[in-house]
Amino acid sequence: MKIGTPREILNGENRVAMTPDSATQLQKLGYECLVETGAGAKAGFSDDLYREAGVTVVDSAEALWGTADIIAKVRIPTTEELDYLTEDKTLISFFNPAGNEEGMEAAKAKGASVIAMEMVPRISRAQKMDALSSMANIAGYRAVIEAGNNFGRFFTGQVTAAGKVPPAKVLVVGAGVAGLAAIGTSTSLGAITYAFDVRPEVAEQVESMGAEFVYLDFEEEQADGAATGGYAAVSSPEFREAQLAKFRELAPEMDIVITTALIPNREAPELWTEDMVKSMKPGSVIVDLAAEKGGNCKLTVADEKVVTDNGVTIIGYTDFPSRMATQSSTLYATNIRHMLTDLTPDKDGTVNHNMDDDVIRGATVTHKGEITFPPPPPKVQ
Ligand code: NAD
């Protein structure tokens, strides 16, 4: 069978779903690999690098989608791309099955199998295919780099001949995958780093990375924030008030605030209010990684960088992984390659779409003319 990767057509998307290295691995599974010309150019992978790795470079999207049996891409396919699907094709991509009814219906009508990368179950065995985590890790790192690029001072404290420099103070709100990556980057750059999460179990991880966990004066502690599967639940009004009171106290002291707080299937909770922004020092920076879901900061504008009247920079970019396209493509292509390893148990270049496998079942959202989303809960946790 042939695996093909088209050029991403969404404006500003620099990633690619197959790299020369991942193609080498895919060929070991018995597949032939194809890419559309220019597919990897923005991620640093030229057509020649693919050719050297034994990949056939085709000159149009039509040729790519027409020839490949399995299409691996990054972004949710457009209507035009979905039109290329046929019943014998398998598409592996981000697909947003819960919010993409049109795409789901189109894939179903075509009879194609769609594996949605955001649906990979978050169980230990599937970590190597967990593209949400690999991309969140990059976003957390890049958020700190963007903050540093917009901050007029060092992160680390220094004693120099020209004067003593205090360390920057960084607050990370939300200590999931992106938040922990931001904490690790911030502490390694030498900033005094604080972190808060509604899930109390992350305090130990936060502290093991050299940051200080922010506790609230609240009777039930952070305990009411944890829901199932390690995700957060909506906080009670009392808890939220205690959280906002703590943030109000911290806001004037913080130089950089990185917000990453999300609750599954909801708009991002608003946690950094206008009065908190107003109380921050000029030159402070907020990076809102929740911008795509409405933002954790009241004044965030998605995809923009704004500077407030009191000199606070608020960054609401939603394309952090794409801003590090070589790294993110390498990790995403590896996630896809692992998915294909599980889909090819006999290493014979043929997909065995085993719907009894928890991971494959969980990620498959259309199959054989049926919508197979949402999946049943995984048997193994
Ligand atoms: P996420 O992106 O859904 O949310 C980011 C963080 O925001 C979470 O830590 C959440 O608790 C926090 N949050 C929500 N509301 C908040 C509020 N009001 N104030 C402060 N923080 C708030 O999370 P994620 O990074 O996708 O991780 C979710 C869970 O999945 C975690 O428990 C993580 O350890 C787990 N996980 C497991 C695996 C695996 O086992 N394979 C892989 C990745 C993540």
Predicted TM-score of the model (pTM): 0.95
Q: What is the 3-state secondary structure (H, E, C) of 194-263?
A: EEECCCHHHHHHHHHCCCEECCCCCCCHHHHHECHHHCECCCCHHHHHHHHHHHHHHHHHCCEEEECCCC
Confidence of residue 228 (pLDDT cuts 50, 70, 90): low
How many whole angstroms from 231 Cα to the centroid of ligand 1? 5
Look at residue 6 and give its three-state secondary structure: coil
How many whole angstroms from 202 Cα to the centroid of ligand 1? 9
pLDDT at 31 over 90: yes
ipTM summary value: 0.96
Q: What average pLDDT score do residues 6-16 get?
A: 97
pLDDT at 233 over 90: no
How many whole angstroms from 178 Cα to the centroid of ligand 1? 8
How far is the C-alpha of 43 from the C-alpha of 63, rounded, in Å? 22
232's tokens: 């957060």
Angle between helices 131-150 and 325-343 (to 10 degrees): 170
Q: In this predicted structure, what is the pLDDT of residue 121?
A: 95
For ligand 1, what atom is nearest to the CA of residue 262?
A: 4
Lining residues, ligand 1, CB within 6 Å: 122-124, 127, 130, 133, 136, 173-179, 196-199, 230-232, 235, 260-264, 269, 271
- The larger pLDDT score, comparing residue 370 to residue 231, is at 370
Q: Which amino acid is present at 8?
A: E
Confidence of residue 235 (pLDDT cuts 50, 70, 90): confident
How many whole angstroms from 201 Cα to the centroid of ligand 1? 11
Location of structure tokens 């290295």: 21
By DSSP bridging, strand 2-5 and strand 32-36 are parallel
Angle between helices 325-343 and 20-28 (to 10 degrees): 10
Please return the burial class of 253, using the count of CB atoms within 10 Å of its CB with bins 0-12, 13-18 and 19+: middle
373's tokens: 């989303």
Nearest to 141 by CA among 179, 193, 168: 179
Q: In this predicted structure, what is the pLDDT of residue 314?
A: 99
376's tokens: 């049943």
Q: What is the pLDDT of residues 42-93, one digit of tens each?
A: 999 999 999 999 999 999 999 999 999 999 999 999 999 999 999 999 999 9
Nearest to 195 by CA among 263, 282, 287, 259: 259
For ligand 1, what atom is nearest to the CA of residue 136?
A: 25
Residue whose Cα lies nearest atom 36 of ligand 1: it is: 122
Angle between helices 131-150 and 177-188 (to 10 degrees): 40
Beta bridge partners of 367: 370
Residue whose Cα lies nearest atom 32 of ligand 1: it is: 230
Confidence of residue 224 (pLDDT cuts 50, 70, 90): low
Longest CA pairwise span in the chain (Å): 71
Q: What is the pLDDT of residues 125-164, one digit of tens each?
A: 999 999 999 999 999 999 999 999 999 999 999 999 999 9
CA distances from 246 to 178, 249, 250, 277, 323 (A): 22, 5, 6, 14, 33
Q: What average pLDDT score do residues 316-343 get?
A: 98
Q: What average pLDDT score do residues 99-119 get?
A: 98
Q: In this predicted structure, what is the pLDDT of residue 71?
A: 98
194's tokens: 């604080």
Percent with pLDDT over 90 in the chain: 93
Q: Judge whether 130 counts as a catalytic residue.
A: yes
Q: Judge whether 7 counts as a catalytic residue.
A: no
Under a CB-based contact definition with an 8 Å cutoff, are residues 271 and 242 in contact?
no
Percent with pLDDT over 70 in the chain: 96
Q: In this predicted structure, what is the pLDDT of residue 109?
A: 98
Q: Judge whether 142 counts as a catalytic residue.
A: no
Confidence of residue 217 (pLDDT cuts 50, 70, 90): confident
Q: Vertex 41, ends 129 and 78: CA angle to 5°?
A: 65
Structural element, H or E, at residue 352 = none
